[in-house]
Amino acid sequence: MSGTIDGYLHSHVLPNGNSIFSPDDIEALYLLYNNGHINNTGTFVISVVTGHGTSYSIIIDDINAFNTFSQNNLIGDNFNSFSIGYEADYNQLNNLFGLSSISAREVALLNALENSGLSILKGNSDYSDWQKIKAQGRQTVDVDCN
């Protein structure tokens, strides 16, 4: 890949595709940034549409926080720990606490991205509305944008 981009949309197809961004997607975002492929971090957006009927976007709220987070979580050995932590959290939420697979992945990813400088927005069924969400305990709640 060469040059810069303003964002991208990708899909997760069934049967294996996650209902939300995977750890690899978060790593990909960092690699795009680190390799100089992001045109403007203030407006850059990545989105995913999935076979589970869900759609999400990620924006970068704080590039310095994202850079620090990436050094600690997305590079080399740390990426392995980041992935295992996210997946263990997901499996615990789904298996023990009885959250649906989709909800458990939302909460687990929001937990994993705490203090990352990234925000997750959830799309509605026709992609006309995108609501910023955050984890609160074992639930996701809307973030007031006012």
Partner 1 sequence: MKTIIFTLALLLNLSCVTAQEVTIKKGTKIEDVKKGTYYKTDKALLNKYLGIWSTTVNKKVFKFEILKSKTEVDGIFIDRIVGRYYYDEKSDVYLSDATYECSAMEYGLDVLEKGKLRFRFFDYDNDKLGVLEFELIEENKASWHLLERGGYRDESFRKGFSVPTEMVLIRKK
Q: What does the binding site for partner 1 look like in residue numbers (CB under 8 A)?
A: 16, 22, 24-25, 27-28, 31-32, 77, 80, 83-85, 87-92, 94-98
Judged by CB, which is closer to partner 1: 34, or 68?
34
Give the DSSP H/E element, type plus range, for residue 117.
Answer: none
Judged by CB, which is closer to partner 1: 24, or 142?
24
Judged by CB, which is closer to partner 1: 42, or 98?
98
Give the DSSP H/E element, type plus range, for residue 135.
Answer: strand 130-136
Structure tokens at 77: 């050995």
User: C-beta of 23: minimal distance to partner 1 in Å?
Assistant: 9
User: C-beta of 114: minimal distance to partner 1 in Å?
Assistant: 13
* CB neighbour burial string for 127-144, b if at least 16 within 10 angstroms, e if fewer: eeebeebebeeeebeeee
User: C-beta of 144: minimal distance to partner 1 in Å?
Assistant: 27
User: C-beta of 26: minimal distance to partner 1 in Å?
Assistant: 9
Judged by CB, which is closer to partner 1: 25, or 62?
25
Query: Cα–Cα distance between 139 and 33 in angstroms, integer?
Result: 30
